[in-house]
């Protein structure tokens, strides 16, 4: 087995900060008059800038590759999202808006085989703990009221922010998104439905530039009136939850590989992908991760 999960990745310290209210697709570095001892600041999607810095210093032999089969599928499903491009790289610690890629030994370390080949996005990470949503566990259920659907009327109280919940959702939410697949976001509070998308709608909360949670009423209105596509929105039942500091300890033990990624990997639907998302992310990381992906992909093809 490979030990790439426990490898330490160095980070270059720099005086870089970002504005949470800035537009996610800004690619400009904003300059201002500063004193000699003041740092310059970046505005816009600083994570994309960081990815470019890392790529510019990476070895060409370790550069990852985009999975072409999955890319073609996304070009059919969501051309605009596919056109944004893909990138990802390891980070030294888990971070809000980043991915958690399950290690080869996560099931053994956590005693939970349901976490095998999980790819999750962190929607909260800080002093109050961490919350993640599993991206690659679609259920057979849809949001509409039908034999394979589900009701949306929820009244349970939780500690999650209100903008990340659907409580007593009005009928139009369920009717507008009737055909949307429901994902298993995790194994805690599965009665709570989370809405993930890429649109700055009223009532939505920005996780990182370009990725939002909540705003279901505005989403239903925009989709119902034909300005947005229902397929742009992902619904999750439940979440992965960690107490303060717990996730960092799990990452240090080798349960998870923390990864920063482009928003396309987070927002795209994981339905009938030619290549599993877990494999796709490892291929994009390149280097020793790509070899693990190749072995896993071979096993996937053998199973078919």
How far apart CA 170 and CA 167 sit, in angstroms, is: 9
For strand 211-214 and strand 119-126, is the pairing parallel, antiparallel, or unpaired?
Answer: unpaired
Nearest to 209 by CA among 9, 22, 53: 22
Say which CATH architecture domain 64-299 belongs to: 3-Layer(aba) Sandwich (3.40)
* Cβ-proximal residues to 39 (8 Å cutoff; 6+ apart), any chain: 15
| pLDDT above 60 for 27 | no
Banded pLDDT at 187 (limits 50, 70, 90): very high
Banded pLDDT at 144 (limits 50, 70, 90): confident
Q: What is the mean pLDDT of residues 114-130?
A: 95
Instruction: Say what the pLDDT of residue 218 is.
Output: 94
Listed by start position, the domains of the chain span 64-299
pLDDT in tens, 197-220: 999 999 999 999 999 999 989 999
| pLDDT above 80 for 130 | yes
Q: What is the pTM of this model?
A: 0.79
Contact in structure between 64 and 283 (CB atoms under 8 Å): yes
Q: Which residue has the higher pLDDT, 189 or 145?
A: 189
Please give the distance of CA 192 from its chain centroid, rounded to a whole number: 18
Residue with token string 């949503």: 133
How far apart CA 201 and CA 214 sit, in angstroms, is: 9
pLDDT in tens, 245-302: 999 999 999 999 999 999 999 999 999 999 999 999 999 999 899 988 888 767 656 5
How far apart CA 139 and CA 173 sit, in angstroms, is: 19
Instruction: Say what the pLDDT of residue 145 is.
Output: 77
Instruction: Say what the pLDDT of residue 295 is.
Output: 81
Contact in structure between 278 and 119 (CB atoms under 8 Å): yes
DSSP letter at 39 equals P
Instruction: Say what the pLDDT of residue 300 is.
Output: 55
How far apart CA 79 and CA 231 sit, in angstroms, is: 12
The CA distances from residue 98 to 7, 79, 93, 256, 266, in Å, are 18, 23, 10, 12, 9
Please give the distance of CA 66 from its chain centroid, rounded to a whole number: 17
Residue with token string 């790439």: 4
Nearest to 276 by CA among 264, 294, 263, 258: 294
Helix axis angle for 277-285 and 287-303, nearest 10°, is 150
Give backbone dihedrals phi and psi of 258, rounded to 5 degrees, phi first: -75, 135
Nearest to 80 by CA among 264, 280, 220: 264
| Half-sphere exposure in the Cβ direction for 84 (13 Å, CA) | 22
């Amino acid at each position: 087995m490979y030990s790439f999960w426990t490898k330490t990745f160095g980070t270059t310290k720099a005086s870089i900060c970002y504005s949470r209210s800035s537009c996610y697709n800004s690619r400009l570095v904003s300059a201002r008059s500063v004193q000699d001892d003041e740092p310059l600041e970046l505005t816009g999607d600083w994570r994309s800038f960081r990815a470019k810095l890392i790529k510019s210093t990476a070895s060409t032999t370790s550069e990852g590759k985009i999975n072409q089969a999955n890319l073609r599928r996304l070009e059919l499903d969501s051309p605009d999202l596919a056109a944004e491009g893909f990138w990802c790289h390891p980070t030294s610690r888990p971070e809000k808006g980043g991915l958690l890629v399950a290690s080869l030994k996560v099931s053994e370390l956590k005693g939970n085989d349901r976490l095998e080949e999980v790819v999750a996005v962190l929607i909260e990470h800080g002093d109050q703990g961490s919350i993640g949503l599993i991206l690659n566990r679609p259920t057979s259920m849809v949001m509409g009221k039908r034999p394979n659907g589900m009701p949306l009327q929820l009244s349970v109280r939780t500690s999650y922010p209100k903008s990340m919940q659907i409580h007593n959702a009005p009928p139009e939410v369920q009717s507008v998104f009737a055909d949307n697949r429901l994902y298993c976001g995790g194994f805690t509070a599965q009665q709570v439905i989370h809405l993930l998308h890429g649109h700055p709608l009223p009532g939505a909360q920005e996780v990182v530039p370009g990725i939002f949670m909540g705003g279901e009423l505005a989403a239903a209105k925009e989709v119902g009136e034909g300005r947005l596509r229902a397929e742009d929105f992902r619904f999750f039942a439940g979440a992965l939850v960690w107490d303060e500091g717990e996730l960092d300890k799990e990452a240090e033990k080798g349960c998870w590989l923390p990864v920063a990624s482009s928003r396309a990997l987070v927002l795209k639907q994981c339905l009938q992908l030619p290549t599993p998302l877990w494999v796709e992310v490892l291929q994009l990381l390149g280097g020793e991760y790509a070899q693990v992906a190749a072995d896993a992909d071979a096993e996937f093809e053998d199973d078919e």
